[in-house]
């Protein structure tokens, strides 16, 4: 675990990464230095963490201190990348020493662009997803040049408390993002639609929402724990001439399968456009 971490951008995902590390004692609050875009965000974020963690706005005179940390977490929005300027004036390197590490969680911004933007760093791309907020996430990592073994271990330890961690070649990060990072939005839309259908059929809204969420969660656990192909589970539920196959017939006629496939493909293409 790194002795200290600098954080550029302090949104929900950056907070999700840091909170369990601080709670477990793997990282001391006073060893975290964060920079945010607006002064109004400083107090709001500080209330979410124990005392000692230092957060300043980008215009603060000491904001450049973030670049003195051995590991930086870059968590701004992709369109804000050009506003971030590397400053390593206070971190001289001795001959043979390892360059500091920059971990980017920016969607679609590739390692080549990161390395050009931050030439003083070794760079890593990380793609976590929102279930990481409850410790049930997935994170893919792709490594830039000259990342040391110790740095690799440190990066993995940052993400392991909140997610399963996978090493992937960079060309697979865009479809990984389209499935796992955008995927929760697709699932949320499905959950909302199922609940709406149940309300239309007569269930109270609160009960319909609860049952939709539990059905999705239980189905995902069943598929995973029993290692079932989705078609196997579908066939287990859909009896001849029954309610389920009647509903599936309608879903197929409405093109739900094609719509979901195209959603993942289009999200992949959009992610590649950011590069």
**Counting beta carbons within 10 angstroms of the beta carbon of residue 264, is it exposed (0 to 12), middle (13 to 18) or buried (19 or more)?**
middle
CATH of 181-274, one of 1.10.3730.10, 3.40.1280.10, 1.10.260.40, 3.30.70.1140: 1.10.3730.10
Domain 5-169 identical in fold to domain 181-274: no
**Terminal Cα-to-Cα distance of the chain (whole angstroms):** 30
Q: β-pairing, 137-143 with 122-128?
A: antiparallel
- Ranges of each domain in the chain: 5-169, 181-274
Specify the fold of 5-169: Rossmann fold (3.40.50)
pLDDT tens figures, 64-105: 899 999 999 999 988 888 888 776 544 444 444 678 999 999
**pTM of the shown model:** 0.89
pLDDT tens figures, 147-172: 999 999 999 999 999 999 999 999 99
CA separation for the pair 164, 264 (Å, rounded): 21
> Could you tell me where the beta strands, DSSP code E, fall in 100-203?
101-104, 122-128, 137-143, 163-167
């Amino acid at each position: 675990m790194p002795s200290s971490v600098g954080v550029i951008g302090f949104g929900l995902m950056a907070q999700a990464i840091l909170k369990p590390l601080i709670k477990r004692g793997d990282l001391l609050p006073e060893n975290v230095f964060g920079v945010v875009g607006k002064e109004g965000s400083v107090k709001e974020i500080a209330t979410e963490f124990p005392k000692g963690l230092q957060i300043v706005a980008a215009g603060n005179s000491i904001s450049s201190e973030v670049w003195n940390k051995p590991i930086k977490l870059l968590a701004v929005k992709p369109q804000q990348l050009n506003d971030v300027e590397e400053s390593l004036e206070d971190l001289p390197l001795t001959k043979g020493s390892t360059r500091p590490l920059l971990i980017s969680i920016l969607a679609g911004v590739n390692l080549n662009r990161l390395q050009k933007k931050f030439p003083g760093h070794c760079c890593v791309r990380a793609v976590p997803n929102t279930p990481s907020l409850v410790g049930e996430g997935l994170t893919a990592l792709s490594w830039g040049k000259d990342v040391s073994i110790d740095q690799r271990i440190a990066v993995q330890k940052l993400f392991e408390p909140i997610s399963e961690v996978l090493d992937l070649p960079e060309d697979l990060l865009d479809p990984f993002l389209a499935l796992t990072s955008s995927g929760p939005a697709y699932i949320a839309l499905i959950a909302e639609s199922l609940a709406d259908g149940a309300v239309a059929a007569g269930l109270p809204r609160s009960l319909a929402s609860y049952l939709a969420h539990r059905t999705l969660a239980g189905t995902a656990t069943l598929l995973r724990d029993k290692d079932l192909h989705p078609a196997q589970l579908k066939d287990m539920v859909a009896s001849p001439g029954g309610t389920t196959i009647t509903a599936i017939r309608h879903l197929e006629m409405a093109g739900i399968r094609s719509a979901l496939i195209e959603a993942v493909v289009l999200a992949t293409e959009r992610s590649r456009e950011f590069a």
